[in-house]
Chain A
Amino acid sequence: MDFSFMRDTFFSLLSGVPLTLNLALTAVAFGAVLAMLLALMRMSGIRVLDAIAQAYVFVFRGTPLLVQIFLIYYGLGQFRPTLQELGLWTFFREPYWCAVLALTLNTGAYASEIFRGGLQSVPHQQVEAARACGMSGFLLFRRIVFPIAVRQALPAYGSEIILMVKATSLASVITMMEVTGIAAKLISQTFRAVEVFVVAGLIYLILNFAITRIIMALEWWLSPHLRRPPAVEPRLEAAHV
């Protein structure tokens, strides 16, 4: 192990961090909206919507993300004239948007199941109590169902976000130079696979450490009822002094 080489590698790989985070966060943001939509479709009780959402989740959870990225990038690239007619080519021409799309569609499928689990875990009594208070529709969702569901779903959703950060490494196969892409390039220049990958792994660890802390803080903030009350200092009795 050559530590000065590893230090240089660390700084070279850092230049890929903005793209890695950009891909992950963009995909998570769009994916969350998609996932919420899918979860509501699953729970809508309307059979067609339910079936569509189920089929979608089945396809995107059941196929590898690498295959999805390849199909979206190289596969759709074969249909350039059609996409140009539809005005979609400017989107699909860019590897960045193809990567974001693939990651979004993927996380949408996984997160929709997490959200559904969260929504279904909301106790019936709470909903009924809210109804008794005269809440219904969106107000009920916003005040009662959503806050409880979020707390339930957060731990699982946190690991989904971490999975997404790691999944961005697959974007390097469509020429995106994020952390893994740069690592592969450095290896090809130096042929020192072990050192470079150790450093790359370390960078992902640091990123995900930060993310887990943020999620933990969020969990803490969202569940004041589970916190222990602050310990009361025993008051010194005047008589003892």
Chain B
Amino acid sequence: MKLFKALGFGLVASALAISGAAAQDKTVKIATEGAYAPWNFTGAGGKLEGFEIDLANDLCGRMKVKCEIVAQDWDGIIPALQAKKYDAIMAGMNITDKRLEVIGFSRAYASGVHGWSVMKDSPLVKLAGEGKRFSLEKDAAGAKAMIEEWKPLLKGKTVGVQGSTVNSQFLEKYLKDTITIREYKTTEQHDLDLSAGRLDAIFAAHSFLKASTEKPEFKDMVIAGGAVSSDVLGRGVAVGMRKDDAELKAMFDTAIQAAIADGTVQKLTQKWFKIDMTPQT
């Protein structure tokens, strides 16, 4: 009997060891943009850095998998996922209905608000709602009122935004007839054009704008007006993956849940954004 027990124990142990080794061997390839500081960016030495790089490494440790992080242009980031060039996207990507039609998402690992940035000497610094935040779903009336207040000041202005983002969708939906929208490949480019005076304003995530205004070359750039969230702006930033990848989704969900619970997300958002961007739900 004892022998059997010992044998059984040994079997279980070796099975565990094998499965452990198998999990360790699994490689998850994660794509990021590398041009969206401080979420993800290419640092001085050409290495990828930022909040999402730190978080990805933390999550991979929790999931006990090897991770490889690659840079991919924002434009092709979803088509390349579908073409199986990599398994997951962590690139400041918000969960939106339109994206849910084509890919799956983990639970959100960060949430943010979106707003305007203009040059210090621009008349647009007086945009309404300074310091206020409205959810387009929970406080639709307040948000719509603020957008209406923006319109007279924004009339006829040229606004820069990164194409194929929740930000460009917001402008298309709410301000299409008021402003001229110019779409850029990367956020760095619209920053350059704002400071060169080709744009009157840019619309982007506050986390990103804050980081930009802290750079010495964009010191005359300021955040103006109130901030908005949800609706087309999405339900938080999450890991994107192929719809049929249920196993990977479960792994990421558990790992993100754990990272939120033990304060890792809070610590990392504090480190990179100087504010706590832990998702509320």
Q: Is B184 an interface residue (CB 8 A)?
A: yes
Question: Looking at the complex, which one of A77, A184, A189 makes contact with B198 (CB distance below 8 Å)?
Answer: A77
Q: Is A191 an interface residue (CB 8 A)?
A: yes
CA distance A230 to B79 in the complex (A): 57
Question: Looking at the complex, which one of B98, B163, B197 makes contact with A184 (CB distance below 8 Å)?
Answer: B163
Chain B residues in 8 Å Cβ range of A175: 182-184
Find out whether the CB atom of B184 lies under 8 angstroms from the CB atom of A188: no
Interface mask (B163-190 → A, CB under 8 Å = 1, otherwise 0): 1100000000000000000111100010
Q: Is A55 an interface residue (CB 8 A)?
A: no
CA distance A191 to B98 in the complex (A): 10
Question: Which residue on A lies nearest to B165, using beta carbons?
Answer: A188
Question: Looking at the complex, which one of A74, A77, A89, A185 makes contact with B183 (CB distance below 8 Å)?
Answer: A185
Find out whether the CB atom of B196 lies under 8 angstroms from the CB atom of A185: no
Question: Looking at the complex, which one of B76, B79, B163, B198 makes contact with A185 (CB distance below 8 Å)?
Answer: B163
Q: Is A142 an interface residue (CB 8 A)?
A: no
| Interface Cβ pair total, 8 Å cutoff | 44
Find out whether the CB atom of A93 lies under 8 angstroms from the CB atom of B197: yes
Q: Is B102 an interface residue (CB 8 A)?
A: yes
CA distance A184 to B82 in the complex (A): 17
Find out whether the CB atom of A191 lies under 8 angstroms from the CB atom of B78: yes
CA distance A173 to B186 in the complex (A): 9
| Interface residues of B, Cβ cutoff 8 Å to A | 75-76, 78-79, 82, 98, 102, 163-164, 182-185, 189, 192-193, 196-198
Apart from A95-B182, A175-B182, A175-B183, list 19 A-B contacts with CB within 8 A. A74-B192, A77-B192, A77-B193, A77-B198, A78-B192, A78-B196, A80-B197, A95-B198, A185-B163, A185-B164, A185-B183, A187-B75, A187-B76, A188-B75, A188-B163, A189-B98, A191-B82, A191-B102, A192-B79
| Interface residues of A, Cβ cutoff 8 Å to B | 74, 77-78, 80, 89, 93, 95, 173, 175, 177, 184-185, 187-189, 191-193
